Structure formats: structure tokens, C-alpha cells
Amino acid sequence: MKNLLIIDRQPLLRLGVRLLVASHLPTVEIFEANCRHSLSEFYSKKNISMILLGFDTDREEVNRADVVRIQKQFPTTRLIVYAGCLSEDEIQSLLNLGIYAFLSKCAPVEQVIECLQINQ
């Protein structure tokens, strides 16, 4: 993986993920976006290797339409959804849509890094 786009509405969460990735995968170029609804042309032109798409499941449902739209905008990019507690059926539904992986926001740091390293 040469670059990563972190999409999440929470700036502190994006910062934490950025710092975590930078400390374990220093060669990865990291981009951030705070809104999954209006990703700019800038990101489309960057040939993004992987996207971490965050959902705040305490305040919103995981929107399948958002997942599909991002997959269409970045058809060759590996998409990892990370969110709070989802049922096995909800996770399987996302996997059936074609996401590359699901990460829980409660996952230990080691699991997050392992997921990203496997995808390099």
C-alpha cells in the first residue's frame, strides 16, 4: 500500500489513525477527508491504494449507498469499513457488497496494524 485515505467525521479519530499508521507504516502517504458525501476530485486523481471508511454507529447507521458510491468512485481501491458494534449479519452484508475488510472501532491497535500490513 502506497497511500491511505481516512474518511471519518471525527477529527480526533482521524488524527489518531493517522498517527498510528505513520508510526507503524512510515512510507505510507496519508490523506484525510471529513465527509464521505463529497469527496473531491483531488482524491480521485491520487490513485488511492486503500480507504478506511468510518461510521459513528452511535449516531448513524452504516449507509450501504455510501459504500457503493465510494466503491464506484474508487473501483480499484481496497475499502475497509470501520465502525462500532455491528451484528454479524451487518458485517456479512458489507462483505457481500465487496468491501475488503471490516474493523471494529474497539479493535486493539495490533489488529488494526495487522489488517493494514496484510494489505500492503
- Dist CA 10 CA 33 (whole Å): 10
Q: Is the Cβ–Cβ distance between 14 and 32 less than 8 Å?
A: yes
Residue 31: in which H helix or E strand, if any?
strand 29-33
- Dist CA 107 CA 48 (whole Å): 24
Q: pTM for the full model?
A: 0.88
Separation in Å, CA 79 to CA 24, 70, 97: 20, 8, 11
The pLDDT, as a whole number, for residue 117 is 85
State whether residue 17 is helix, strand or coil. Answer: helix
The domain total for the chain is: 1
**Share above pLDDT 90 across residues of the chain, in percent, rounded to a whole number:** 46
Give the range of the structural domain holding residue 9, as residue numbers without chain letter: 3-118
The answer on pLDDT for 36 being more than 80 is: no
Given pLDDT bands bounded at 50, 70 and 90, which one contains residue 97?
very high
- Dist CA 3 CA 26 (whole Å): 11
- For residue 28, give the CATH number of its domain: 3.40.50.2300
Mean pLDDT across 24-41: 84
The answer on pLDDT for 119 being more than 90 is: no
Residue 116 grid cell? 493494514
The pLDDT, as a whole number, for residue 37 is 72
The answer on pLDDT for 57 being more than 70 is: no
